[in-house]
A = this chain, B = another copy of it.
Amino acid sequence: MIKNKVISEAVIKRLPRYYRFLKQLEKEGVTRISSSSLAEMLNVTASQVRQDFSNYGEFGQQGYGYSVAKLRGEIASILGLDARHDIIIIGCGNIGKALARYTNFTDDGFYVKAMFDLDPSVIQKVPEGIEILEMDKLATYINTHNVDIAAICVQSNAAIDVAKLLCKLGINRLWNFAPVDLSQVDSNIIVENINMSDSLFVLSYKIKQ
């Protein structure tokens, strides 16, 4: 049953990995899997796998295990992958451009619909169907289009202002690529960070040990 309790960040961050492996299993034609097999694949304990799933419901069957397709579907639903998501990108620099051309998550219903920059002439060769607009068109765009997620791909020094503006315009779901903390910009902001510097520094740390 679905518990009325707070689920830890650690559990949440493991869900995409489960999803990824289940997708792969399904692709390979595997129809059933036990918590212990899955655990072995992921290099975690079977207990953790069962605990994680049990936060969200009862997806398995005693003596049998889990149906791969059903479990994948359940996790997709938990992750919100059963809905379509429209993304806009703020900043047409290297990262913004790469993101616009990166089509890996189209399969799961995430679509880049528009990109904004102070100087939109900097960018060419973007996939069909993505509008490129000047920053001062942002408010109008948001008022006339569905926007689920805004990806912040501007320079560090502009990121906080952009985040504030977006929150003011009602877009508080931010995918932040700038190496800056946005969590305190707004009281009900939702941010996920891709911090390449932080990641590189952690790698550097591990190399040094």
Contacts and interface: CB of A to CB of B under 8 A. Distances in A.
Interface of A: 12-13, 15-17, 19-20, 42-43, 78-81, 83, 85, 94-95, 97-99, 101-102, 104-105, 108, 110, 148-149, 156, 173, 175, 179, 181, 183-184, 190-208
Contact of A203 (B78, B99, B192): B192
29 contacts: A12-B202, A12-B205, A15-B202, A15-B205, A20-B179, A42-B181, A43-B184, A79-B201, A79-B202, A79-B204, A79-B205, A80-B201, A80-B204, A80-B207, A81-B201, A94-B101, A97-B98, A99-B196, A102-B196, A105-B197, A108-B201, A149-B200, A173-B203, A175-B199, A175-B203, A190-B207, A191-B203, A192-B202, A194-B194
A85 B192 contact: no
Nearest to A85: B204
Given A43-B183, A95-B98, A98-B95, A149 B203 contact: yes
Nearest to A193: B199
Contacts of A95: 98, 102
Contacts of A42: 181
Among A16, A104, A204, chain B packs the most CB atoms within 10 A around the CB of: A204
Contacts of A200: 105, 110, 149, 175, 192
